Structure 1
Amino acid sequence: MNYDDIINMKHPTSINHPRMSMNNRAAQFAPFAALKTHVDKISEAGRLTTQKRILDEDQRQVLNRVLNNLLINKKEHLSIMIDYFVEDEYKEGGSYVTVRGQFKDIDEINKRVILLDKTTILIDDIYHISILKD
């Protein structure tokens, strides 16, 4: 193929439509960002959360006994496992998380359990706590 006959011809220009600017031409090839947002919303809606369980009186008493036992023996830094509720940042509800660590103390002013690694857990969010055998 030989393009010698058209290589020096002037680019055709429409009589009916003005020439598009470089920015407008480039915008035609940009990704459609709204689609990504839509996909994010669909996956967020599909993500499951659970409601916080309310402890009954018996469960509260058991929790208080364990916390008192931990306070009495706090110098031993007992190994514990705590199941607690974490509120979701984006939608109603949350999820339950289990953490293992060594008990350090209870912050009675802020009502938090403090672990040796400086993790703090709000006592009102604790569903279950157990002392582990080493």
Structure 2
Amino acid sequence: MSGKYDDIMSLQHPTSKKHPRMSRQNRAAQFSPFAALTGYDAVIKETERNIEEKRILSEDAIAEINENLQLIQEKKNEHPYVYISYFEKDIKKEGGIYKTIISQYKHLDEYKNILITIDGNEIPIEDISSIYLYEIDMK
């Protein structure tokens, strides 16, 4: 072979007396990609998250919710299943999302004005958009 570097190809790799040799993993890390805009992905994901404004209920809808809460209160000792649609406020943005659950009623905390279900959901009464007794067929 008569190459440009033939004279040094058989020589040993030089080793520094001052600095220890870098591991393969650390050498590879030098060439790995990096995020030029730190936090950009998180901002994009947050922007993509859909939220909506809380709807203002009509007087009829409020009356229906109050009537259904009264029916549920009458059966409170039975811990009936209830179908609840409610607005959940977003902790990061203005607005929130509407959720619907089916759960067993536990009690109504009139001091805090919240409905509590057996599985621990605490739903403010003013955030409920609809509530019904949910009949389960146990046959």
Which bin holds the TM-score, normalised by the shorter protein? 0.7 to 0.9
Deviations 1:24-54 (A, max 9, x none): x998546423445212212221221110111
Work out the CA distance in 2 between the residues paired with 1:43 and 1:96. 20
Aligned partner of residue 85 in structure 1, secondary structure: strand
Quote the residue 2:91 is aligned against.
89
For 1:13-92, list aligned pairs within 5 A. Answer: 29=31, 31-35=33-37, 37-92=39-94
Q: Give, in whole Å, the separation in 2 of the partners of 1:73 and 1:10.
A: 85
Gaps of 5+ in 2: 15-21
Deviations 1:93-124 (A, max 9, x none): 11111111111110001111111222211111
SS at match of 2:66: helix
Normalising by the residue count of structure 2, what TM-score does the alignment of the two structures yield?
0.73
In structure 2, how many angstroms separate the alpha carbons of the residues matched to 1:34 and 1:57?
Answer: 53
Residues 116, 122 of structure 2: 8 Å contact kept: yes
Q: Pick from 102, 107, 110: which aligns with 1:108? A: 110
Question: Could you give the per-residue CA deviations for residues 34-85 of structure 1, whole angstroms, max 9, x where no partner exists?
Answer: 4452122122212211101111211111111111111111011111111111
Distance 1:32 1:127 in 2: 46
Normalising by structure 1, we get a TM-score of: 0.76
Q: Aligned pair count?
A: 122
Q: CA RMSD in A?
A: 2.7
Q: Give 4+ residue runs of structure 1 displaced > 6 Å after superposition.
A: none
* Larger deviation, residues 1-10 vs 115-124: 1-10
Cα separation, 1, equivalents of 2:47 and 2:56: 25
Percentage of identical aligned residues: 42
Match of 1:16 in 2: none
Task: Compare 113-122 and 74-83 and name the one that shifted more.
Answer: 113-122
